[in-house]
Amino acid sequence: MLSKTSPDMASFPCSRVSCLGDNYAYLLHDVDTGTVGVVDPSEAVPIIDALSRRNWNLTYILNTHHHHDHTGGNAELKARYGAKVIGSGIDKDRIPGIDIVLNDGEKWMFAGHEVHVMETPGYTRGHISFYFPGSRAIFTGDTLFSLSCGKLLEGTPEQMLSSLRRIMSLPDDTNIYCGHEYTLIPRMMHFRLMQPM
């Protein structure tokens, strides 16, 4: 994640919430409307705590892919707040509680902020990234990390390369928000985690 703040981020702050040790979820808040979203809530309790501290009510849950460490909080958060779950059409049968299905190239509005859905397969076949062009922010889930890219669980090397090229084609000042923090663990442990299963 780059440290620059784009002009639109003042009305659209993003807060990182640590979950499960090395997962990141992100709270999105539109100041003007009070709309709140969370990207990839792996567990509910840290998200509920963060929302309570801010006195926010959750409106949307955005999932980049179907893995439990990115969707584990969906059911509890949806039940508690009535939030709508958003995810990939390819993964619609694998994302718990999905309400809104989005596909590559579609645009969706988060309050007054346009969101471009980018298919970014390789790690999983239905992986998507959420790009907010007005805020110059992209949420890449497990496609791209600060130290590497996701391993190939369901996709091909060609799909991953294409996904990374799509992300690289965005403006240079785009803020990248990845789904895990692997730079804080010892390097050799990280490389063991990245080895094929």
- Contact between 129 and 143 (Cβ < 8 Å): yes
Q: For 51-76, b where at least 16 C-beta lie within 10 A, e where not — what string?
A: beeeebebbbbbbbbbbebbbbbbeb
Element (H, E) at 116: strand 113-119
In a domain, 193, yes or no: no
Instruction: For residue range 48-86, list pLDDT tens digits in order.
Output: 999 999 999 999 999 999 999 889 999 999 999 999 999
In a domain, 8, yes or no: no
- Contact between 195 and 157 (Cβ < 8 Å): no
In a domain, 19, yes or no: yes
In a domain, 90, yes or no: yes
Q: What is the pTM of this model?
A: 0.86
Rounded distance, CA 124 to CA 163, Å?
A: 11
First and final CA of the chain: distance in angstroms? Answer: 28
Residue 122 above 60 pLDDT?
yes
In a domain, 170, yes or no: yes
Average pLDDT, the chain: 87
State how many domains the chain has: 1
In a domain, 146, yes or no: yes
Closest by Cα among 148, 146, 183, 153 to 67: 153
- pLDDT score recorded for residue 145: 67
Rounded distance, CA 109 to CA 144, Å?
A: 24
CATH of the domain at 173: 3.60.15.10
In a domain, 69, yes or no: yes
Strand duo 137-141 + 175-178: pairing: parallel
Residue 180 above 50 pLDDT?
yes
Domain membership of residue 113 as a residue range: 14-178
Rounded distance, CA 152 to CA 161, Å?
A: 11
Residue 167 above 60 pLDDT?
yes
Instruction: For residue range 17-40, list pLDDT tens digits in order.
Output: 988 878 899 999 999 999 999 999
